[in-house]
């Protein structure tokens, strides 16, 4: 479920005459562009439209550059060119690609492989299953699974090189790239002088300082019994990131079983849990990858991992027996209705 929603004071007046001098009041600006197959939004507060446009252009330019480097749909992307060299010697990577792979690898280690960017050969089979509604054949799946395993990807931070040890290995950064892109766009906005902004790519959202006269950015979170498009539970966040992963949007139903687009690397199967996980973390990259990892792990191990990493999370089990599981400090987040047990 995409957890996106906010309200902020919409300042129409640019000048306030409450004091003896005229003081500029920041106005709200909103921009949208499509990248990485998703709609990205930038909402920001500043006093002039020219600055708002310059800053949002810089933010979207970062996202576009990352899309070009990290996409697994574009055969010309840097990521895909790296995959073409799987089985060969180490390959020099750009700073963007290296940092994103490094963060992906860190999440693989922490989640004991529940998050794994080398999952691509298996994800491809499930993408085809979504189109054909036919399960991948056991033998094909076994071959693809043999290529999966983050331990066969060597990252050399000094040389900035990446080596995929097995020929045929492929990478998929779909579980982390949008959060990474939101972080990088936010950094570009800050460089352009914008300190009060929201950057969202579908269910991955990063926010900086609160809108004028607000405690934070109001963001809707999943409710197991609610309408996904009309959230009834909200968090009010500042200088944080929030991401949601689950089976709500992309899945395939075959033989009465619903398989998510997120795959369990241990089994090679689309995760069948009817659930979504919402993570609040200090950065978008962590929130995005952790939401994917915790969804794969299920509520018990998932919540334990979120706590170990020092983030907050809510595992929402949908379906006939709706239930929520929260990390210890979830209820302390401002603006939330406490999780039901
Ligand atoms: P969304 O893209 O819907 O916001 P996620 O952030 O959870 O959701 O990312 C899902 C994508 O991550 C999948 O479409 C696939 O490209 C990739 N993926 C699937 N399973 C895994 C996994 N176990 N580890 C890492 N990435 C995965
Ligand atoms: Mg994710």
pLDDT digits (tens, 9 = 90+) for 54-65: 999 999 999 999
Token pair 């033989």 is at which residue? 255
In whole angstroms, give the CA distance from residue 213 to residue 325.
32
More confident residue, 6 or 72: 72
Residues 6+ apart with CB under 8 A from 94: 69, 78
Tell me if 89 is assigned to some domain. yes
> What is the pLDDT averaged over residues 138-160?
98
Whether residue 145 has its Cβ less than 6 Å from ligand 1: no
Task: Quickly state the pLDDT bin for 20 (edges 50, 70, 90).
Answer: low
Q: What percent of the chain has pLDDT over 90?
A: 82
Range with the lowest mean pLDDT among 95-99, 165-169, 219-223, 306-310? 219-223
Tell me if 125 is assigned to some domain. yes
Tell me if 306 is assigned to some domain. no
Number of domains the chain contains: 1
Q: Given this model, what pLDDT does residue 10 score? A: 39
Tell me if 261 is assigned to some domain. no
In whole angstroms, give the CA distance from residue 148 to residue 180.
22
Q: What is the dihedral of CA 133, 137, 142, 143, to 10 degrees?
A: -90
Q: Given ligand 1 and candidates 111, 125, 131, 174, which is best to mutate, with the most ligand atoms within 8 Å of its CB?
A: 174
Q: Which ligand is nearest to the CA of 174?
A: 1
In whole angstroms, give the CA distance from residue 60 to residue 216.
23
Tell me if 11 is assigned to some domain. no
Contact 52, 196 (CB under 8 A): no
Q: Given this model, what pLDDT does residue 128 score? A: 95
Whether residue 246 has its Cβ less than 6 Å from ligand 1: no
Tell me if 21 is assigned to some domain. no
Q: Given this model, what pLDDT does residue 339 score? A: 53
More confident residue, 203 or 3: 203
Task: Quickly state the pLDDT bin for 173 (edges 50, 70, 90).
Answer: very high
In whole angstroms, give the CA distance from residue 242 to residue 235.
10
- pTM given for the model: 0.92
Residues shown for the chain = 341
Tell me if 300 is assigned to some domain. no
Question: For the segment 178-205, what is each residue's pLDDT rounded down to a tens digit?
Answer: 999 999 999 999 999 999 999 999 999 9
Cα-to-chain-centroid distance, residue 219: 15
The first and second tokens of residue 48, run together, are 């002039």
Enclosing domain of residue 97: 78-164
* Separation of CA 220 and ligand 2 centre (Å): 17
Q: Residue with the nearest Cα to atom 26 of ligand 1?
A: 175
Whether residue 103 has its Cβ less than 6 Å from ligand 1: no
Bridge partners of 91? Answer: 162
The first and second tokens of residue 142, run together, are 């076994």
Question: For the segment 235-293, what is each residue's pLDDT rounded down to a tens digit?
Answer: 999 999 999 998 777 789 998 999 999 999 999 999 999 999 999 999 999 999 999 99
Beta-carbon neighbours within 5 Å of ion ligand 2 = 175, 245, 288, 291-292
Whether residue 245 has its Cβ less than 6 Å from ligand 1: yes
In whole angstroms, give the CA distance from residue 153 to residue 18.
60
Sign of CA dihedral 40, 237, 289, 93: positive
Residue 139 belongs to domain with CATH number = 1.10.3980.10
Token pair 């899945």 is at which residue? 251
Task: Quickly state the pLDDT bin for 321 (edges 50, 70, 90).
Answer: confident
Question: For the segment 107-134, what is each residue's pLDDT rounded down to a tens digit?
Answer: 999 999 999 999 999 999 999 999 999 9
> What is the pLDDT averaged over residues 81-89?
98
Tell me if 154 is assigned to some domain. yes
In whole angstroms, give the CA distance from residue 220 to residue 191.
28
In whole angstroms, give the CA distance from residue 222 to residue 286.
19
- Whether the pLDDT of residue 19 is over 70: the answer is no
């Amino acid at each position: 479920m995409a957890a996106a929603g906010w309200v902020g004071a919409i300042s129409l007046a640019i000048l306030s005459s409450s004091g003896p001098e005229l003081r500029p009041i920041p106005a709200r600006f909103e921009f949208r562009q499509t990248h990485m197959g998703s709609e990205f939004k930038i909402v920001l507060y500043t006093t002039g439209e020219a600055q708002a446009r310059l800053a949002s252009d810089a933010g979207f330019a970062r996202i576009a550059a990352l899309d070009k480097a990290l996409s697994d749909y574009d055969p010309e992307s840097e990521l895909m060119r790296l995959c073409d060299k799987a089985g060969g010697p180490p390959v020099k990577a750009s700073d963007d690609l290296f940092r994103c792979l490094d963060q992906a690898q860190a999440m693989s280690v922490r989640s004991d492989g529940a998050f794994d960017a080398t999952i691509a050969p298996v994800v491809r089979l499930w993408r085809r299953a979504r189109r054909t509604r036919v399960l991948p054949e056991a033998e094909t799946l076994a071959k693809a699974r043999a290529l999966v395993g983050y331990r066969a990807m060597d990252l050399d931070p000094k040389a900035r090189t990446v080596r995929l040890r097995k020929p045929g290995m492929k990478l998929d950064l779909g579980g982390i790239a949008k959060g990474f892109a939101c972080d990088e766009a936010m950094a570009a906005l800050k460089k352009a002088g914008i300190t009060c902004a929201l950057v969202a790519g579908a269910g991955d959202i990063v926010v900086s300082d609160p809108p004028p006269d607000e405690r934070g950015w109001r963001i809707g979170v999943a409710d197991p019994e609610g309408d996904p498009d009309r959230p009834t539970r909200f968090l009010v966040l500042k200088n944080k990131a929030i991401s949601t992963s689950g089976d709500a949007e992309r899945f395939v139903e075959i033989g009465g079983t619903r398989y998510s687009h997120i795959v369990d690397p241990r089994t090679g199967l689309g995760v069948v849990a009817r659930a979504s996980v919402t993570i609040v973390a200090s950065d978008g990259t962590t929130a995005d990858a952790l939401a994917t990892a915790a969804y794969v792990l299920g509520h018990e191990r998932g919540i334990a991992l979120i706590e170990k990493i020092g983030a907050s999370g809510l595992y929402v089990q949908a379906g006939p027996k709706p239930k929520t599981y929260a990390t210890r400090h979830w209820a302390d987040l401002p603006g939330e209705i406490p999780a039901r047990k």
